[in-house]
């Protein structure tokens, strides 16, 4: 198949790009070309800012595609742009939405594609919902061949997935573990969460491309393995050979004492249990199954991060904030007692 990816070098899309290229598809990637060195040389790159519609249209010429995959569309105007560019160029338009769009709080502990979409806590998720609604309206009224894909918390070899971290990513939490410091976990660490290795995601995703059962449908692609946050953090600590030292604080408290977006990322997402029923995906892609357990995938990630300095981005501001939060809560205990 001839496939175009918009983006192509993110946490999820890099794994998809590698998998498609390795499978022999004719793969095009359109982006600004800043990080394409991580991808195979035989991929065909279109160097352009997707927002420059005139330039993109000129570079595409008369090309048409079996599938166009949008990984960096976050608000409706970006999808309106995509429709102008690709409305007559593709047999399938695959939009990467987010499982955070599902109803919060979760009405049932098992999430299916039929779970309502509503998130009053996180603008990011509400924007994704608006994008989905726009595309599905195009499908219903004009036959635009849309497929919606909703990833949950997906990680790759360069990104350690955690709940509470600063603006510079997760390294500072890893460093705290290695230094024997306590790490903050939202709630009491017992809510269930789903982590998905990007390599597993990519295989499920590719099974939907060119698949007639995927047109006009939405699918989430997540692991079948549900873990508590305590298990997630302890697994990471064990892989590091560090002692697991959790410090618990409510999501509401963390959101109220920081300018990090914990209202969205915690209350609107990670503070809720997230267990997914992937049977719809498995019916559409017979034989597909998730193969990488979290303890296996995260060990691969940590090995990579520990060997690559560019992944070890310090965040002194977040580190000091953690110490301040822990000290304040400990002082509160002493005053009450």
- 3-state SS assignment for residue 252: helix
pLDDT for the residue numbered 312: 97
In a 10 Å sphere around its CB, with 0-12 CB exposed, 13-18 middle and 19+ buried, how is residue 10 labelled?
buried
pLDDT for the residue numbered 8: 85
pLDDT for the residue numbered 34: 67
Question: What pairing do the DSSP bridges indicate for beta strands 146-151 and 93-96?
Answer: parallel
Half-sphere exposure of 51 (CA within 13 A, CB side): 7
pLDDT for the residue numbered 38: 63
pLDDT for the residue numbered 106: 83
pLDDT for the residue numbered 109: 83
pLDDT for the residue numbered 209: 98
Per residue of the chain (337 residues), give pLDDT as tens: 999 999 988 999 999 999 998 888 999 999 887 666 666 667 889 999 999 999 999 999 999 999 999 999 999 999 999 999 999 999 999 999 999 999 998 888 899 999 999 999 999 999 999 999 999 999 999 999 999 999 999 999 998 999 999 999 999 999 999 999 999 999 999 999 999 999 999 999 999 999 999 999 999 999 999 999 999 999 999 999 999 999 999 999 999 999 999 999 999 999 999 999 999 999 999 999 999 999 999 999 999 999 999 999 999 999 999 999 999 999 999 999 9
With a CB cutoff of 8 Å and minimum separation 6, the contacts of 162 are: 170, 173, 232, 233, 236
CA 100 to chain centre: 9
pLDDT for the residue numbered 32: 86
pLDDT for the residue numbered 33: 76
In a 10 Å sphere around its CB, with 0-12 CB exposed, 13-18 middle and 19+ buried, how is residue 331 labelled?
exposed
């Amino acid at each position: 198949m001839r496939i175009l990816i918009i983006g192509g070098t993110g946490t999820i899309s890099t794994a998809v790009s590698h998998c498609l290229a390795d499978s022999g598809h004719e793969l095009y990637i359109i982006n600004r070309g800043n990080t394409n060195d991580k991808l195979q040389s035989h991929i065909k790159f279109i160097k352009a800012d997707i927002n420059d519609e005139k330039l993109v249209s000129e570079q595409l010429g008369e090309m048409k595609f079996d599938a166009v995959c949008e990984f960096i569309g976050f608000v409706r105007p970006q999808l309106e742009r995509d429709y102008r560019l690709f409305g007559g160029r593709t047999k399938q338009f695959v939009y990467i939405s987010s499982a955070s769009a599902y109803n919060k709080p979760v009405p049932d502990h098992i999430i299916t594609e039929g779970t309502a979409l509503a998130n009053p806590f996180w603008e990011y998720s509400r924007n994704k919902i608006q994008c989905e609604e726009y595309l599905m309206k195009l499908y219903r009224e004009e036959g635009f061949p849309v497929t919606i894909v909703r990833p949950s918390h997906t990680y790759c070899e360069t990104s350690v997935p955690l709940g509470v971290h600063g603006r510079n990513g997760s390294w500072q939490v890893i460093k705290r573990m290695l230094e024997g410091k306590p790490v903050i976990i939202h709630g009491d660490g017992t809510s269930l969460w789903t982590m998905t290795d990007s390599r597993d995601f990519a295989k499920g995703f590719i099974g939907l491309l060119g698949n007639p059962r995927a047109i006009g449908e939405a699918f989430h692609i997540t692991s079948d393995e549900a873990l508590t946050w305590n298990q997630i953090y302890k697994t990471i600590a064990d892989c590091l050979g560090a002692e697991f030292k959790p410090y618990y604080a409510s999501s509401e408290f963390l959101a109220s004492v920081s300018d990090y977006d914990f209202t969205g990322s915690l209350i609107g997402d990670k503070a809720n249990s997230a267990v997914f029923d992937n049977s719809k995906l498995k019916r559409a892609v017979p034989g597909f199954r998730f193969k990488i357990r979290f303890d296996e995938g995260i060990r691969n990630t940590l090995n990579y991060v520990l060997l690559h300095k560019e992944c070890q981005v310090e965040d002194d501001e977040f580190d000091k904030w953690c110490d301040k939060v822990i000290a304040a809560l400990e002082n509160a205990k002493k005053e009450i007692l």
